[in-house]
Structure formats: C-alpha cells, structure tokens
C-alpha cells in the first residue's frame, strides 16, 4: 500500500513535518512518499501547490494525506480545495486553546522557529560552536565548561548526538574517542587522564559490533579498523570500562539520535537551556 503525504506550511515546515512524520510512523505497513512544502505564503504558491496535489492524486490513484500548519486563512482556504485527507494542526488545537485561555491567538507565521528570543537563539549558536570545537577529543581544555562529555569507540554516534544536544536543547556537549592509545601495558582500556577530573560529566555510548563493522566499512573498507574482531574487542573493552567505573551509558544500535539524546537527558537529569523547536 502506497500513499503520498504532503507537509505544508507558510513558514519553515518544521512543525508540520515533525508532527506529520511522528503520526505516520505509526503506520508501518503503509509505504509513504513524504513531501515537504515550506513557505507556501502567497495565493499564487497555494494555487500552484493545489495543482501538484491534484496531479499526485491522479498519478497515485489514491487520496494524498495533507498535514499543514498554515496560519493565513486565505491560503488555508485555497489548500482546502485540493483533494486529500486533511490534518490542519493549528485549527485543530488553537481553537480549543483560545477557548480555554479566553483570548485569541496572534496567528503569527513562523512564531515557533523564528529567532524571537535573542538569548535562546544565541544560546543555541554557542552550544553548537562548543560541540564543534570539542569534537572527537580535538580540544580538552574546555571540559570544565561542558555539561556532558560523550565517550565511546570511533563511529558509535558521539558527534551527531553532541550536535543534536546542542541544537535542540542548548546542552554543551563535548565528545572523546576511546582508542587503543588508552590501553595500559596489559592491553586493558583505562580512563584517559584528561577525562579523570570530569568523571561526573561522562556518558558512554556503545554499539553492536556487527553494526559498527558495517559503519566503519563504509569509511575504510577492508581494513583492520573495520574488521569484526577489532570492532568486537573495542566495544567489549569500552563496555567493561563503563561498568568498572559506573559510567552511565546507552546502546545506540537501534535508537535514533533523538532517542539517544532524550534517553540520556532523562537518565542523567541534565538541564535543558531551552525546549526543542
């Protein structure tokens, strides 16, 4: 079964796409072709999009799903002319909220994702810069300013998780790779000296060795780096280190970056500087 879903907005489209994808993810048996249409902010764009939706309905032989966060009533009325099953997010939720709060919404386009509060926006920028500056152990002298330091073997998801934490929550996340250089003379992985003063900030990531080997093979095929034996040894040593030092950790194998980040925040009690947009 195949259907087309349109995420439509007169702003960035982030809200429509995020909520739309969350809703449609519950229907695993349906093959969804997802199309995001941001900045439908003029009547001309709206009429043109209606034609696209009409053509899609004819091509697919089925009614498209239309999920929108259109604020402008005139544009929303045009979109409503298109054939499709419509989920109008703002109309669905704003009207009851207006009644409960006994006031009218300002109906401002782009309110959710605009710069709006300068402090929040700049906090996001500073957090992203921090994550980039402190990626992969490149710098360690700023660890006193870090909210969390992610550790783990190479390619287990440290960098994308650090950036997501920064962008979505304003968390200053550094990350440090555990390598063979951190082993003692007996070949046992030990905590790097640079991390010792910050044990309370450490959070470990681990991953299934087979998945790790597949990821590394894309980067360096047919190398010791991506061999199953090497991956298995590194993962086992990292997990042993976490258990020995009671470092909280999570297996990233089957989790998205969003899930890794939110589970980590829930487990550590990290304070978010702002809520995700």
Residues in binding site for ADP: 152-159
On the question of pLDDT at 115 being above 60, the answer is: no
On the question of pLDDT at 129 being above 60, the answer is: yes
Contacts of 233 (CB under 8 A, 6+ apart): none
> Hey, which of 110-114, 118-122, 263-267 has the most confident mean pLDDT?
263-267
pLDDT of residue 71: 85
Query: What confidence tens digit (pLDDT) does each residue in 31-40 have?
Result: 999 999 999 9
| Average pLDDT estimate for 249-274 | 91
Spans of all domains in the chain:
3-101, 118-268
Query: What confidence tens digit (pLDDT) does each residue in 54-75 have?
Result: 999 999 999 999 999 998 889 9
On the question of pLDDT at 10 being above 60, the answer is: yes
Distance CA 57, CA 85 (A): 11
Say if CB 241 and CB 189 are below 8 A apart.
yes
Write out the DSSP string of 256-277. Answer: -HHHHHHHHHHHHTPPPSS---
Say if CB 160 and CB 257 are below 8 A apart.
yes
Give the confidence band of 124 by pLDDT, cuts at 50, 70, 90: confident
Residues in binding site: 152-159
Pull the structure tokens for residue 54. Answer: 């009409």
Pull the structure tokens for residue 58. Answer: 């004819």
Pull the structure tokens for residue 257. Answer: 């970056």
CA torsion through residues 146, 247, 153, 164, sign: negative
For 150, the 3-state DSSP assignment is strand
Pull the structure tokens for residue 100. Answer: 């409960």
101: phi then psi, degrees, rounded to nearest 5: -90, -5
| Average predicted confidence (pLDDT) for the chain | 91
| Average pLDDT estimate for 185-198 | 94
Say if CB 83 and CB 53 are below 8 A apart.
yes
Say if CB 3 and CB 30 are below 8 A apart.
yes
Query: What confidence tens digit (pLDDT) does each residue in 70-114 have?
Result: 988 899 999 999 999 999 887 788 778 888 999 887 766 555 555
CB atoms within 10 A of CB 217: 16
pLDDT of residue 277: 52
Distance CA 100, CA 89 (A): 17
| Average pLDDT estimate for 205-213 | 97
* Residue 170, Ramachandran bin (φ over 0: left; ψ between -120 and 50: alpha; else beta): left
Weakest mean pLDDT among 120-124, 188-192, 238-242, 265-269: 120-124
Q: Which CATH number fits domain 118-268: 3.40.50, 3.20.170, 1.10.3470, 3.30.2450?
A: 3.40.50
Distance CA 137, CA 176 (A): 4
Pull the structure tokens for residue 16. Answer: 């429509």
Give the confidence band of 218 by pLDDT, cuts at 50, 70, 90: very high
CB atoms within 10 A of CB 255: 18
Pull the structure tokens for residue 246. Answer: 């009671």
């Amino acid at each position: 079964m195949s259907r087309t879903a349109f995420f439509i907005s007169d702003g960035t489209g982030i809200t429509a796409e995020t909520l739309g994808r969350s809703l449609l993810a519950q229907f695993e048996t349906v093959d969804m072709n997802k199309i995001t249409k941001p900045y439908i902010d003029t009547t001309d764009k709206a009429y043109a999009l209606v034609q696209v939706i009409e053509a899609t309905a004819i091509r697919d032989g089925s009614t498209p799903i239309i999920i929108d966060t259109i604020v402008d009533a005139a544009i929303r009325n045009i979109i409503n002319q298109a054939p499709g099953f419509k989920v109008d997010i703002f109309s669905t939720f704003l009207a009851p909220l207006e009644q409960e709060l006994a006031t009218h919404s300002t109906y401002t386009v782009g309110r959710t994702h605009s710069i709006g509060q300068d402090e929040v926006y700049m906090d996001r920028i500073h957090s992203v810069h921090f994550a980039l500056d402190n990626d992969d152990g490149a710098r360690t002298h700023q660890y006193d300013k870090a909210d969390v330091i992610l550790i783990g073997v190479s390619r287990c998801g440290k960098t994308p998780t650090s950036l997501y934490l920064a962008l979505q929550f304003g968390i200053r996340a550094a990350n440090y790779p555990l390598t063979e250089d951190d082993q003692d003379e007996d070949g046992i992985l030990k905590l790097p000296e640079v991390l010792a003063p910050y044990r309370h900030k450490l959070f470990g990531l681990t991953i299934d060795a087979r998945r790790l080997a597949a990821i590394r093979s894309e980067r360096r095929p047919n190398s010791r780096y991506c061999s199953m034996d090497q991956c298995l040894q590194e993962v086992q040593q990292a997990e042993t280190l976490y258990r020995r030092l009671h470092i909280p950790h999570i297996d990233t194998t089957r989790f998205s970056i969003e899930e890794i980040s939110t589970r980590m925040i829930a487990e550590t009690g990290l304070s978010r500087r702002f809520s995700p947009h």
